[in-house]
Chains A and B, each alone.
Chain A
Amino acid sequence: MSFKSAVITFPGSNCDRDALCYLKDLTKGEVHNIWHEETSLPKVDLVILPGGFSFGDYLRSGAMASKSKIIDEVVKHANDNRYLLGICNGFQILTEIGLLEGALIRNKKLKFLGKNCFIKKKFKNNFNLSIKDKQVLQIPVAHNEGNFYCDTETLNLLKNNEQIAFEYCKGEFSNTEENINGSIEAIAGITNKKKNVLGMMPHPERAYSDFHQSQDGRLIIESLIS
């Protein structure tokens, strides 16, 4: 059975094309692009909420997109136990919808960060099955509000339920930082309790082609397909 997927485009999304290419190249299956004003979603295995500045990030990153018409369908898709991945702005939208805990606040240095980062997996889930424990992935980040924050109670829940998918870590060489944006416990990505919804700040869709600096982003789609 071939793997089907879809990418939602909001006004101001700017990684929608990248996510479409990522899915087309790696899943070899059907890939749909859905406009935010649609009211139905084809039955697919994976939906990606892409990065960008949906609605100009006005009000609060992801806040306006979380009220789009298509969101009801996205929530239904998740409730159906199918995969939902929010990358960067998509992660912010997922926390605004309430599908994921916590919030993304401004980076600790209050500056946009566009660079390579290093992450490793924390707790196992279907998005990181193909990644070995302690394996360090190199994947770019590009965000202004990527600093994951939640209260202690929520943090304990995330830990107890093993919902932390990725954390930032040092790379192999000297010029890398442990926790690039100041996230609580260096959290780079979390899932919901059922672990079918993942939000992450790094952009795996910018690290998969042979000409990219790293191909580690492939491992997420490979995990889902396997």
Chain B
Amino acid sequence: MNEELILQHGLTLDEFQVIRKYLNRDLSIEELGIFSAMWNEHCCYKTSKKWLKKLPTDNEIVIQGPGENAGVIDLQDNDGIAFKIESHNHPSYIEPFNGSATGVGGILRDIFTMGARPIATLDSIRFGLIETEKTKYLLNGVVHGIGHYGNCIGIPNIGGECEFESTYDFNNLVNAMAVGHVQKDKIFYSKPKSIGGLIVYIGSKTGKDGIHGASMASDVFSEEDEDEKRPSVQVGDPFMEKLLMEGCLELMSSGLIESMQDMGAAGITSSSVEMASKGNVGVYINLDKVPLRQPLSAYEILLSESQERMLAVIDKKNNHKVREILQKWQIDYEVIGEITDTKRVVFESNNKKVVDLPVEIIVDDAPEYDREFYIPRKRKNKDFDFSKIKLEDMITNLLTNLNYLDKSWVFDQYDSTVMGDTIREPGQSSGIVKIHGTQKVIGASTDCNPLYIRINPYEGMKYTVAESYRNLIACNINPLAITNNLNFASPLDPNIMGELVLSIHGLKTAAVKFNTPIVSGNVSLYNQTNEIPIKPTPVIGMVGSNMDLNKINTNKFCEIGNKILILGKQLTKNFSPYLLQDQKIAFNICEFNDLDVLDLDFEKKIANCVLELSDLKCIMSCNDISRGGIFSALLKMQYKDMGFRIKVPDPIDLFCEYSAGYVIEIRSKDFEEVTSFLTKKGAEYLDIGEIIKEGIQINSKKFDYFDIMNKYRNDFEKIIS
């Protein structure tokens, strides 16, 4: 086989030699395609595996950890929650609408493949600076794509993030998360149960879209690539997915299916290989039986990433019943092969075996690299001059920066209330939905702190986990487990690899301390274009619960006259990276001081205070303090034209970042009870003021409430159009 062809398939010559030696024969082009798909980063995690193994993935509530289509946790009784986050970064840059839409479609399939009905989605999206037409185009396309797919299929979109930073100018990030509800005794796995089971194809016909999508997702971009790669982007059809979801869930609840796999990245190849590997069996598939949209070669069928397709194993005797149910939902269905005892993957086309490989060499012998990495150098402490900063300017800076403005323009394009179980609207600290027919609620939040992580990957990652944790705590949601989406530039650069390694360590430390295991995840590497790498962006999605929906907190102000307290510890000005960046004091990454070490025990202590006070019904509303400090948290809490009158020692304090920071609203009559509770627990608090009608007043300086709120609410749309 010629070298060029091997390299085109994303394999190194060394990797090819391993295969060649094992098989002791030449490969067919179809077999080369299979290795190309299965041995890239996206499918086999060859760079990250060594480090991912170190993450905590189990505790008493984990039913299914990483390795399946989604992780599942126990929510008592017969309720389980399946969830996962996945990236669709590269496709969304090439074709924002379809790239992001199919990202949502793919993650939803991961959820219902487990037998779970999706009940919520969240999206973490990041773009470059809005000044370029390209970013506006990407933002519009991505938001439209996410909205179109989720709205049509009818799953509420309950939140996420949307940020802008020049580091994403040529590599926007689209990470979609989905959460589903499953009955614990009806979870489906990809492992087939019996030899001789029929392998069936369910869903859309196979076309040319997405061929080599998975290997594209593991590529470095150059700008000219964009047009050339567009045909590799899959095209989604949410209506088909809705039918497929209802059809599959009906098949599963009728007990007609043994196991199921989504044909996601690397299509029929990866789904069938994984099936064989999980079950320690073989698969035989006749490619001539695969429903096609257009004439395709065996090679193309194997690598197509056409959307809305599933592979399932059924007992022969159920064939007729399965066909009947799928006919009702107008879904294509075909028996294409069977489970064998050979432990080999065999694909036949035109009466010829085009692929005949032992499962072992594809999966177990997949490469695993221990790449070189550097630890970032220690930073020198630097004092910044804050004397020239005025309160008015700080507010102006904040209100002209997209990252702080109200993002209703984004979230209003998503349907957040379909299914009738949504408790919170997106744009708040976490999205909350009820488990249908119960009093239980699930809260979810996605977060990442790229600037922190660039400064100090280990500590920065701890802050990222703590931020999600606080988002849930603020709503009186008990954090339970994590899904992660590690977005990095090329790991071949030891500096980038160092960020990857250290941030995984930070994730581990925080997850162990919070007892929130990582149950699913995704890695997206090579996010760089023209040698410009993105900032490290390991996004996490955290899920938590409260068994009683009446106990959850709102993030919005409740009543005029109520008091406002601050909990937590302020990071000093010199150590508040976003304050320094957004108040235009420090820009260059070298200028920033190192991060304050985050005390996770302190985080837990304050969190427990918030949870206890919430259960005592002493908290009227609560929000966490993150980027933008107290001031930004207060803006987010505005509701029904209620404002605030506050006093702080130094106005700059309002914009500093916090550890374990929360703003809580309490009634005056509860003030004694709350403060003596906090004192007893050793939790310091700051009494900063109270809620007033239609006003914003800081240290006796009055601001025009409607002027500030109009800017906060409406300027996002003005800036991006």
Q: Which residues of B contact A175 (CB under 8 A)?
A: 709, 713
**For the complex, what is the distance from the CA of A156 to the CA of B330, rounded to whole Å?**
43
B418 cross-chain contacts in A, Cβ below 8 A: 14-15, 18, 51, 142, 206
- Chain B residue, CB-CB nearest to A208: B420
Interface residues of A in 47-85 (CB under 8 A from B): 51-53, 55-58
Interface residues of A in 159-194 (CB under 8 A from B): 172-175
For residue A220, CB closer than 8 A to chain B, the reply is no
Instruction: Determine how close the nearest CB of chain A comes to the CB of B370; give it in whole angstroms.
Output: 47
**With A57-B152, A172-B640, A173-B641 in contact, do A114 and B242 touch (Cβ < 8 Å)?**
no
1/0 per position for B303-343, CB-CB distance to A under 8 A? 00000000000000000000000000110000000000000
Output the least CB separation between B148 and chain A (Å): 7
Those of B120-153 within 8 Å (CB) of chain A:
144, 147-148, 151-153
Chain B residues whose CB sits within 8 angstroms of the CB of A142 once the complex forms: 151, 415, 417-418
Contact B415 A114 (CB under 8 A): yes
A-chain residues with CB within 8 Å of residue B597 when the two chains form the complex: none
Of the listed residues B240, B411, B418, the one surrounded by the most CB atoms of chain A closer than 10 A to its CB is B418
Cα(A115)–Cα(B476), bound, Å: 24
Residues of A within 8 A of B389 (CB): none
- In contact, B147 and A211 (Cβ under 8 angstroms): no
Instruction: List, in ascending order, chain B residues with CB within 8 A of A206's CB.
Output: 417-418, 420, 422
Q: Bound state CA distance, A205 and B418, in angstroms?
A: 9
Q: B706 at interface (Cβ–Cβ under 8 A)?
A: yes
Q: Please provide the chain A residues from 21 to 52 with a CB less than 8 Å away from any CB of chain B in the complex.
A: 21-22, 51-52
Assess whether B640 is in contact with A173, with CB atoms less than 8 Å apart.
Answer: yes
**B413/A114 in contact, CB under 8 A:** yes
A114-B412, A174-B709 as given contacts; A15 in contact with B239, CB under 8 Å: no
Q: Which parts of B396-427 form the interface with A (CB within 8 Å)?
A: 408, 411-420, 422-423, 425
Query: Given A56-B237, A173-B640 in contact, is the A112-B415 Cβ separation under 8 Å?
Result: yes
Which residues of A are found within 8 Å of B434, using beta-carbon distances? 211
A98 within 8 A of B: no
| A11 touching B329 in the complex, CB below 8 Å, given contacts A114-B412, A174-B641, A174-B706 | yes
B154, CB-defined interface residue at 8 Å: yes
Q: State whether the Cβ of B683 lies closer than 8 Å to any Cβ in chain A.
A: no
Which residue of B is nearest A115, CB measured?
B412
CB atoms of A115 and B408 under 8 A apart: yes
A residues 101-119 with Cβ under 8 Å of B?
A: 111-115
Tell me, yes or no, whether A154 is within 8 Å of chain B by CB. no
Neighbour of B416 across the interface among A111, A114, A209, A212, CB < 8 A: A114
Q: Is the CB of B414 within 8 A of A114?
A: yes
Which residues of B lie under 8 Å from residue A174 when comparing CB positions? 641, 706, 709
Name the A residues within 8 Å of B153 (CB-CB): 14
A199 beta carbon closer than 8 Å to chain B: no
Interface SS of chain A = loop
Residues of B with C-beta under 8 A to A203: 417
The verdict on A213 contacting chain B, using a C-beta distance below 8 Å, is: yes
B238 at the interface (CB under 8 A from A): yes
Does B532 make an interface contact (CB < 8 A)?
Answer: no
Contacts known (A174-B709, A175-B713, A211-B434); A17 close to B243, Cβ less than 8 A: no
- Residue with the highest number of chain A CB atoms closer than 10 Å, among B408, B413, B706: B413
Q: CA separation between A213 and B413, bound complex, in Å?
A: 19
For A11, what are the chain B residues with a Cβ–Cβ distance below 8 Å?
Answer: 239, 242-243, 329-330
The residue in chain A whose Cβ has the minimal distance to the Cβ of B434 is: A211
Residues on the B chain within 8 Å of A15, using CB = 154, 418, 420
Give Cα A212 to B422, complex, Å. Answer: 7
Q: How far is it, in angstroms, between the C-alpha of A53 and the C-alpha of B415 when the chains are bound?
A: 12
B152-A56 in contact (CB<8A): yes
Whether A90 is near chain B, meaning CB under 8 Å from some CB there, is no
Any chain B CB within 8 A of the CB of A86? Answer: no
B residues less than 8 Å from A115 (CB atoms): 408, 412, 425
In Å, the complex CA distance between A115 and B409 comes to: 10
Which residues on B sit within 8 Å (CB–CB) of A114? Answer: 147, 151, 411-417
Q: Which residues of A contact B329 (CB under 8 A)?
A: 11
CA distance A130 to B334 in the complex (A): 54
A14-B242 in contact given A53-B152, A173-B640 (Cβ < 8 Å): yes
B721 to chain A: closest residue by CB? A109
How many angstroms from the CA of A21 to the CA of B154 in the assembled complex?
A: 16
Assess whether B696 is interfacial by the CB under 8 Å rule.
Answer: no
Q: Which of B148, B242, B414, B420 makes the CB contact (< 8 A) with A18?
A: B420
A52-B413 contact in complex given A18-B419, A173-B640, C-beta closer than 8 Å = no
Q: Is the CB of B151 within 8 A of A112?
A: yes
Docked CA distance A2–B411 (Å): 41
Cβ distance B647 to chain A, nearest Cβ, rounded Å: 26
Which residues from A are CB-within-8-Å of B417? 114, 140, 142, 203, 206
**Which A residue's beta carbon lies closest to that of B439?**
A211
Residues of A contacting B422 in the complex (Cβ-Cβ under 8 angstroms): 206
Q: Is the C-beta of B474 less than 8 angstroms from some C-beta in chain A? A: no
Docked pose: A114 CA to B419 CA in angstroms: 13
Q: Could you say which residues of chain A place their CB within 8 Å of the CB of B151?
A: 53, 112, 114, 142, 144
Residue of A whose beta carbon sits closest to that of B425: A213
Query: Are B239 and A113 in contact (CB-based, < 8 A)?
Result: no
CB distance from B622 to the nearest CB of A (A): 18
Contacts of A14 in B (CB 8 A): 152-154, 242, 418-419
Query: Could you say which residues of chain A place their CB within 8 Å of the CB of B240?
Result: 56
A112:B154 contact, CB within 8 angstroms: no
B641 touching A17 by the CB < 8 A rule? no
Q: Which residues of B contact A113 (CB under 8 A)?
A: 412-413
Could you tell me the distance in whole angstroms from the C-beta of B140 to the nearest C-beta in chain A?
A: 9
B143: min CB distance to chain A, Å: 9
Q: Give min CB distance, A152 to chain B, whole Å.
A: 31
Q: What is the bound-complex CA distance between A15 and B237, given in angstroms? A: 19
Bound Cα distance A58, B243 (Å): 14
Q: Would you give the shortest CB distance from A119 to chain B, in whole angstroms?
A: 16
* B413 to A, closest residue via Cβ: A112
Mark A193-211 against chain B: 1 for CB-CB distance below 8 A, else 0.
Answer: 0000000000101100101
B182 to chain A, nearest CB (A): 17
**Which of B153, B329, B417, B706 counts the most A-chain CB atoms under 10 A from its CB?**
B417
- B423/A211 in contact, CB under 8 A: yes
Instruction: Report if B549 contacts A (CB, 8 A).
Output: yes
Determine the distance from Cα of A86 to Cα of B698 in the docked complex, in whole angstroms: 50
Q: How far is the CA of A174 from the CA of B693 in the complex (A)?
A: 12
* Chain A residue nearest to B151 in the complex (CB): A112
Q: Which single residue of chain B is at the shortest CB-CB distance from A54?
A: B239
Distance (whole angstroms) from the CB of A144 to the closest CB of chain B: 8
Q: Using Cβ atoms and an 8 Å threshold, which residues of chain A touch B238? A: 53, 56
A114-B412, A173-B641, A174-B641 as given contacts; A55 in contact with B239, CB under 8 Å: yes
**Min CB–CB distance A8 → chain B (angstroms):** 15
Alpha-carbon gap, A144 to B240, bound state (A): 19
Q: Which of A56, A173, A205 contacts B420 (CB 8 A)?
A: A205
Return 28 A-B CB contacts under 8 Å, by A number.
A11-B243, A11-B329, A12-B242, A17-B420, A22-B420, A51-B418, A53-B152, A53-B239, A56-B152, A56-B237, A56-B238, A56-B239, A56-B240, A57-B152, A111-B144, A111-B412, A113-B413, A114-B411, A114-B416, A115-B425, A174-B641, A174-B709, A203-B417, A205-B420, A206-B420, A206-B422, A211-B434, A213-B425
Name 17 extra pairs, CB < 8 A, besides A53-B239, A56-B152, A114-B151: A12-B243, A14-B153, A14-B419, A15-B418, A22-B420, A53-B154, A58-B239, A112-B415, A114-B147, A114-B411, A114-B416, A115-B412, A115-B425, A140-B417, A142-B417, A174-B709, A206-B422
